[in-house]
Chains A and B, each alone.
Chain A
Amino acid sequence: MSYFESRMKVNFKDLDDIRKKLKWSQDLGIRNVILEPKNYMSKIPLELKEKIMKFSSSNIYFRVNLRVENLNEFKKKIKNHNNFEDLLSIESLNKDVQIHAARDSRVDLISFSEPNILKSLTTGVLSLVKQNNSFIEFSLHPIFERNIHLQSKNFRILYRFLHMIRKSKVNYIISGNFSDLYDFRHPRGLISICHSLLDLPINESKQAFNEQPRKLLERRNIKD
């Protein structure tokens, strides 16, 4: 069974960085990777995608993340993504943006990767995400925090909101979202963390790293 690393931030202007990270993830045995440009790109050129796909034998997919501050910025940026062919995610602290993103069918994924953003998640957003059949994203990078106090705080925040999402039966994926090469972990290890430290049933943790990302990709294909 092959699992997904659903968020790997790379610098699309530095092909060596991409090659290095893909080689590293291949050495770790990660077979499916979703790459995200570190700096915002409204569209990833096809030639660049083809070039990147040659770097590794893993299955490579692409996503673009819109990090927006307010509603006006969101409305302005989302216009560039009509008929978008890759995955589109939104990351924002602003609740209005989260609600609009949850209603917008162009948005595949609402990302709650940082603890402060995760704290802003409400049941209203979850309900809209469920109606629109889109996805919520969590990341496990905050639990690799060196500071033990911050780490336990991050565990608590993740635990709280993960179980809130489970209760509302919304589609969700869990990504690593690591930036340092030595923080990278195989999704199987992350599944164990979700199971034993975040009290997620093992089959549900596996789904968050396997079936759900596949569903997310299928959703985009159906839309196209």
Chain B
Amino acid sequence: MIIEDNFIINKDDLLKSIWSSIWRYFGMKEANKIGLWLIDLNIEKNYGMLRCSHKTKETLITALCLVSDINNKRIILSTLKTSGTLKSLKKSVLTL
């Protein structure tokens, strides 16, 4: 996560903008398949952990990529790692 002026975002704003990106580019047909869940958001280290259905992984990465601002602050949401289980994802997060 890279945010303009080191602006501090909260979970609600982040989720809201991810959902609006999903709606804008994929509509309800895809949105109901995603099962999006924000597991963790670490503001200090600028990363978050999202859970979704494995079939909609590419949809979610696209939606994240197309988020360009939150609360009028420019932002880049980029994927660091994808994993099949939260357990192995948490392990790799420890190395960040």
Q: Which residues of A contact B (CB under 8 A)?
A: 27-29, 144, 146, 182-186, 188-190, 192-193, 195-197, 202
Q: Which residue of A lies closest to B66 (CB)?
A: A193
The SS class assigned to the A binding surface is helix
A residues in contact with B75, CB < 8 Å: 182
**CB-CB contacts below 8 Å: B21-74 with A:** 25-26, 58-59, 61-62, 64-66, 68, 74
| Total number of residue pairs linking A and B with CB closer than 8 Å | 50
Whether the pair B58, A195 counts as a contact (CB closer than 8 A) is: yes
Whether the pair B79, A186 counts as a contact (CB closer than 8 A) is: yes
Whether the pair A144, B68 counts as a contact (CB closer than 8 A) is: yes
Q: Does B4 contact A (CB under 8 A)?
A: yes
**CB-CB contacts below 8 Å: B64-95 with A:** 64-66, 68, 74-76, 78-80
**What is the CB-to-nearest-CB distance from A20 to chain B, in angstroms, rounded to a whole number?**
13
Q: Which residue of B lies closest to A28 (CB)?
A: B78
Whether the pair B25, A197 counts as a contact (CB closer than 8 A) is: yes
Q: Does B2 contact A (CB under 8 A)?
A: yes
A residues in contact with B78, CB < 8 Å: 28-29, 185-186, 188-189
